[in-house]
Amino acid sequence: MLTIPCRVRSGRCDGVTRRDFLQVGGLSVLGLTMADLLRAQAQAGPNKRKKSVILYWMDGGPTHMETYDPKPDAPAEYRGPFGVTRTSVPGVYLNELLVGHARVMDRIALLRSVHHNNGDHFAAAHWMLTGYLGSTAANRTPKFPSFPAIISRIKGANAPGVPPFVAVPYAMTVGIRPGYLSATYLGVAYNPYDVNSDPNSPNFQVRNLNLPSGVTVERLQDRRTLLASLDKLQREADTTGTMDGVDRFNQKAFEIITGRRAREAFDINREDPRTRDRYGRHVYGQSALLARRLVEAGVTCVSVHNGGWDHHSNIEAGMKSRLPTFDQSVSALIEDLDQRGMLDDVLVCVMGEFGRTPRVNSNAGRDHWGNVMSVMLAGGGIRGGQVVGASSPKGEFPVQRPLKPADVIATIYKALGIDLDTHFVNHAGRPTAINNYGTPIEELL
């Protein structure tokens, strides 16, 4: 995770000390992290096809009953307080507040039978994002790399001058950063590039890409020249070509810092105000819009964090608060990608760590429920306009086509052309599969 420590003054990152500058995000000309990132990208080899993923993460565990799997014919204590809306696909219904989703249902695939039977926020989030059970509330340390980290390790960025994996507005799952989005044994170079800022803020800027006040590109170049001279003895002793490789990776890191591609991609103010309005002038809408800008510029994976879905009480007020901005941001993203001719190459995945209890509790809310949940996929070559799997009439467990988290992730890998037999060496020195016995969902591909 690449960030720059700073003191915020009037919403800006000013007053960076000389020591701060020498550590600018660990960037290669001033450290090692960015060079390591680029070196790892080169090891992944050339891209076969330039596809990308936008992971829209609903942190806290969204209720499936009030989103993608309503049960209008269930008893009132299961059905909940909302009605349903028709969608563009006959016979498919969604929560009445998801009017944008209903409009784009012909481009959406709903998975209504995903389950892992775990109600621990930490274990469930780790499972959904990695395909493996391996972390709990008692020990929150990630054990396996997230699927976006694996994708960025294998494919690298889709264009020069941008990082392969970016987290918007920040990288966090269930309270820890980068949490289960991390790369673990793949190395910190594959952690998400953490924007750590609200793109809806009038003072939004990605501090990682802005040089401190008073520091020019020329001064940065001078530092690179100084480092090169300090490396002279090692360079003369090197007979393996390592230093030549360092030069090449440092040059690419320098291009990211001083080049235009990444900076312009993050500059959301370049967007037509009407497009910004369409996504919604809130953190979730502008984060989804920024995700589109980033994949358009060549970023391979973008995570969009949307938290606050842990509704143990008053599910009606919670959903009325959360669903409209969620619906607007996701539906605008799908429509925008489609209209730009990008949807076939950008896979949008919407999910959280688990669903919620089918029966409404005594506080008019719903509790943790990993026995069944819904996941939404759109684009990336996925066949839309369909529902795969089904839960029971009361939304309690899968009754058709039960799916595991690893099946969802294997489908994403398959859509991106990633070999499911790929292995990486873990911290114990053992080859570890990226695919935990998941089977791609053939109905989608």
- pLDDT tens, position by position, for the chain (445 residues)? 444 333 333 332 333 333 333 333 333 333 334 554 455 455 544 445 699 999 999 999 999 999 999 999 999 999 999 999 999 999 999 999 999 999 999 999 999 999 999 999 999 999 999 999 988 888 889 999 999 999 999 999 999 999 999 999 999 766 667 889 999 999 888 999 999 999 999 989 886 665 555 555 565 555 555 555 555 555 555 554 444 444 444 555 565 666 688 889 999 999 999 999 999 999 999 999 999 999 999 999 999 999 999 999 999 999 999 999 999 999 999 999 999 999 999 999 999 999 999 999 999 999 999 999 999 999 999 999 999 999 999 999 999 999 999 999 999 999 999 999 999 999 999 999 999 999 999 999 9
Q: Tell me, what's the pLDDT at 134?
A: 86
CATH of the domain at 151: 3.40.720
User: Residue 19: what pLDDT?
Assistant: 36
Helix (H) or strand (E) holding 226: helix 217-230
Query: Taking CA 242 as the corner, what is the angle to CA 241 and CA 244, rounded to the nearest 5 degrees?
Result: 65
- Among residues 114, 117, 115, 89, the alpha carbon closest in space to that of 102 is found at 89
Question: So what's the pLDDT on residue 393?
Answer: 98
The answer to whether residue 6 is domain-embedded is no
- Structural domain for 372, as ranges: 13-444
Residue type, 204: F
* CB neighbour list of residue 322: distance below 8 Å, 6 or more residues apart: 308, 309
pLDDT value for 22: 33
Residue 188 has a pLDDT of: 85
| pLDDT for 209 | 67
Are the C-beta atoms of 384 and 108 separated by less than 8 Å? yes
pLDDT of residue 222: 59
Task: Look at residue 116 and tell me if it is in a domain.
Answer: yes
Is there a domain that residue 426 lies in? yes
Q: What is the pLDDT of residue 172?
A: 77
If one counts every other C-beta atom within 10 angstroms of the C-beta of residue 271, the result is 17
Tally of domains in the chain: 1
Distance from chain centroid for Cα 92: 27
Q: Which tokens hold the place of 146?
A: 């997230």
pLDDT score at 26: 36
pLDDT of residue 49: 63
State the pTM of this model: 0.84
3-state secondary structure of 134: coil
